[in-house]
Amino acid sequence: MRCHYVAVGLILGAVSALSGCSTVSQTPYENVWDRYTVMLWPFQVPEPGPKYKAAMDSVGLRGTQLDGAGGGISKQRLAFVTEEGLPYYVGHTAGKGYLHLTSPEKDEVMRQLHPVPRPHCLSNPATMAAMKKAIRSNVIAAKAGRCVGYAYDDEISAVSFTSPCDTCTSQWCLPRFRAFLEKMYGSIDALNAQWGTAYKGFDQISVVGTEKARIANDPQWLSKWNLSGWVDSREYIDQLFADTLKELTEYTNSLDPARPAGYVGGGGPTAFGGYDYEKIAKSIQWIEAYDIGGANEILRSFMPKAPAVQTWFDNGSSQKNKWYNWYYWAHGNRGQIIWPSSGSDNPWFDQDGKPRSDIAALRDMLVEIQGDKIGKLLMGADFVHDGIALYYGQPSVRVSWFIDIIPHKDTWLNRLSSLNNGNDSSHWNRYGWMKLLEDCGLQYNYVSPGQITSDELIKKGYKVLVLGRALALSGAEAEAIRKFVAQGGWVIADHLCGVFDEHGKVRSQGALDELFGVAHDLSKGLLNGKVLYEIDAELYSDQPIEKKVTTAYDGAPRWNGLVVYERGLQTTGGSKAKAEVDGVPVLVRNGRAIYLNLSPVYHCVERYQPETAAWPGVVLSLMADAGITPRARVINVATGKAEPIAECLSWRLRDGRTALCVIKNRFRSASISGAGASLGDVADTPMKVRVELSRPVTDLRNERTGRTFGNVTAFEEYWVTSEALVLTYK
């Protein structure tokens, strides 16, 4: 269905929706989602009936999915799940294809060098009406049973996944986009001053595409860049996408207020796709997002009480399959959605519904993790962080993506989702900081630009703000960060911090340069002095990360094995370089403001190796200065040394006790399938460990075995590393 003409007045009247200020109702939804729940996506399994139920029971599954696509929910499937009392979510509640580009329309707009209209334009009332029609039919049919949530569609996107495609120039979107800009800037003169343009009026403006912005900025020095038109165009699309979801959520709630509404198959935050999670978190009530680019921890931070699940792809190892469930359970997820096959030649179930032997071996784990004790343990719990806030800002994500595409030149449109997921510098920077902190025994929350400007750092009692690859900061953010430091907070940045404003225009001076006591001479280059980008996807698209960074790192200055990022960094004012290489500052300290002229990217894959061995010491020392030390350490009794990649997570339970969860912290690569690889493996063989706590605890007990330890500051226990060690205390 194509978009049909409507009066421009209707569009202009809808512009006020692009505010991003309000949030849909958020509750834990514990009345329908009362425990960790694993739901079978019905792929290559018998039709509803005795065989289907027997297949689920053989593996220990509780839930399933009902599909709302096509003609709506199958009456046969609905009758089956109702009769059996099975929990389920509804997929494609809003139909199929409106919330992402599908063939054949996708083929008409993808790989275009210039902006195009979006098929099923999200500003077209006909698109919204079609989705609401499907929602109404599916919700009315499904709400009588044990429905746990409504998913509008699978793998939704403003385009197709996170593949680049500049939209939308339709007759519905352009007036809305222009009104959006007028609200943002107030006058055409203000916009021209920011964009570097000479428009006579807003009615002359169209969406600024990637190719136009690339030609205007490449191959200039970074110090000359102005991405404002392109960044503002991406901001509009992200806001439009979030507002569309918000309207769908409010409509779904009007039909069934008892269940959460959201979507499944979300992508990592990048320039395309609409995955600005600061906005998304205000627009939906539950989500399944692939854990790409730190999406799982971002959503845990922004939607702390909302049901969040993962899609579980069979990775061919019973140990890794068990670890996958326990890892995301310990990280606060409410369950999994199973894609029950690792390939058409190796399905979970045969034609009779009998599972593969390695899948059947998962039954004990699935029964326990969904049971009344462990399955409900973390419901309604509050995550306990260590006073550390990691920064996530979509403007920085956009600028970082634009730097990443420079080696592609005019073939950037071939940087499809799979290529970008494995090569996005903002993803890898985020991974690096996450794994660094977790490996140091520290936990964190993400914070957004809106939270920073609302003084959430101060109100929520954070001690340290980490600005990882925070390339683009607004003046309001900079002011709030200075206020945070003035009131006793600490701030740590890595490189190029705030050299762009929130619209993507380079500054003559970084937004926080005075705070850090630094200045940037970008003409001297970055890394090896020859490139602007850390990861060259043009050369190493299919290689592991250590291969991708070789070109940029080859010939770069190094400090204790770590690559120095900005070759032209200078100290100013009263700041002091605590470390430097060939006259280039590496660690600059100005009171409670720390500037690290480094990148954590390499740490997440080369953990505990000589090239990255200095990182944990740097982080632990800086955090100790800020008054933050690890809550727990895990010692391998056999070796007497700290057990590598053993992560400790704490949750404050509803009954007042605290849960301590110990899990192997394997690195999952930027892929929707498999468990990834990292130092160490997981096994079913018990390992004796000694857990040392930073303070005495009362009435410690192992919630899985019932063993009690009394009042302790340290204890020894056996840990199966393919599972989680789960303890609680007062």
3-state secondary structure 654-718: CCCCEEEEEEECCCCCCCCCCCCCCCCCCCCCEEEEEEEEEEEEEEEEECCCCCEEEEEEEEEEE
- Convert 384-394 to b/e letters by CB count within 10 Å (16 or more is b): ebbbbbbbbbb
8-18+41-363 placed in CATH 3.40.30.10: no
Over 50: is that where the pLDDT of 94 sits?
yes
Instruction: Tell me if residue 423 falls in helix, strand or coil.
Output: coil
Over 60: is that where the pLDDT of 597 sits?
yes
Over 70: is that where the pLDDT of 11 sits?
no
Would you state the structure tokens that stand for residue 616, as one six-digit string? 């944990």
Other Cβ atoms less than 10 A from the Cβ of 578: the count is 12
Is residue 230 a contact partner of residue 253, using CB atoms and an 8 Å limit?
no
Over 70: is that where the pLDDT of 548 sits?
no
pLDDT given for residue 42 in this prediction? 84
Over 90: is that where the pLDDT of 557 sits?
yes
Domain limits, the chain: 8-18+41-363, 384-625, 632-729
Record: fold of 632-729: Immunoglobulin-like (2.60.40)
Q: How far does Cα 56 stand from its chain's mean position?
A: 31
According to DSSP, the residues that pair with 67 across neighbouring strands are 91
Length of the chain: 730
Q: How sure is the predictor about 165, in pLDDT bands with cuts at 50, 70 and 90?
A: very high
Burial of 338 (0-12, 13-18, 19+ CB in 10 A): buried
Q: How sure is the predictor about 61, in pLDDT bands with cuts at 50, 70 and 90?
A: very high
195-243 pLDDT, tens digit each: 999 999 999 999 999 999 999 998 788 999 999 999 999 999 999 999 9
Report the percentage of the chain scoring pLDDT > 70.
94
Other Cβ atoms less than 10 A from the Cβ of 541: the count is 16
Cα separation of 595 and 199, whole Å?
A: 39
Cα separation of 287 and 309, whole Å?
A: 7
Q: How sure is the predictor about 16, in pLDDT bands with cuts at 50, 70 and 90?
A: very low
**What is the mean pLDDT of the segment spanning 374-385?**
97
pLDDT given for residue 438 in this prediction? 97
pLDDT given for residue 544 in this prediction? 63
Over 70: is that where the pLDDT of 357 sits?
yes
Rounded to 5°, the CA angle 404-208-157 comes to 70
Q: How sure is the predictor about 542, in pLDDT bands with cuts at 50, 70 and 90?
A: low
pLDDT given for residue 20 in this prediction? 52
pLDDT given for residue 543 in this prediction? 65
Distances (CA, A) of 514 to 177, 291, 570, 589: 36, 36, 12, 12
pLDDT given for residue 677 in this prediction? 43
Over 90: is that where the pLDDT of 430 sits?
yes
User: Mapped to the 3 state alphabet, what secondary structure does 361-400 carry?
Assistant: CCHHHHHHHCCCCHHHHCCCCEEECCCEEEECCHHHHHHH
What CATH number belongs to 384-625? 3.40.50.880
Would you state the structure tokens that stand for residue 241, as one six-digit string? 């996408």
The mean pLDDT value of the chain amounts to 92
Q: How sure is the predictor about 671, in pLDDT bands with cuts at 50, 70 and 90?
A: low
- DSSP readout, 262-301? EEEEE---SSSSS--HHHHTTT-SEEEE---TTHHHHHHH
**What is the mean pLDDT of the segment spanning 59-75?**
93
Q: How sure is the predictor about 359, in pLDDT bands with cuts at 50, 70 and 90?
A: very high
φ, ψ of residue 706 to 5 degrees: the values are 85, 0
Q: How sure is the predictor about 474, in pLDDT bands with cuts at 50, 70 and 90?
A: very high
**What is the mean pLDDT of the segment spanning 173-189?**
98
Q: How sure is the predictor about 297, in pLDDT bands with cuts at 50, 70 and 90?
A: very high
Cα separation of 550 and 467, whole Å?
A: 24
Q: How sure is the predictor about 545, in pLDDT bands with cuts at 50, 70 and 90?
A: low
Is residue 89 a contact partner of residue 65, using CB atoms and an 8 Å limit?
yes
Q: How sure is the predictor about 378, in pLDDT bands with cuts at 50, 70 and 90?
A: very high
Q: Which residue has the higher pLDDT, 617 or 549?
A: 617
400-413 pLDDT, tens digit each: 999 999 999 999 99
Which stretches of 389-488 are DSSP H helices?
Answer: 394-404, 417-421, 425-439, 449-453, 456-459, 475-486
Is residue 287 a contact partner of residue 264, using CB atoms and an 8 Å limit?
yes
Would you state the structure tokens that stand for residue 227, as one six-digit string? 């991405």
Q: How sure is the predictor about 2, in pLDDT bands with cuts at 50, 70 and 90?
A: very low
Of 506, 548, 493, nearest in space to 399 by CA: 506
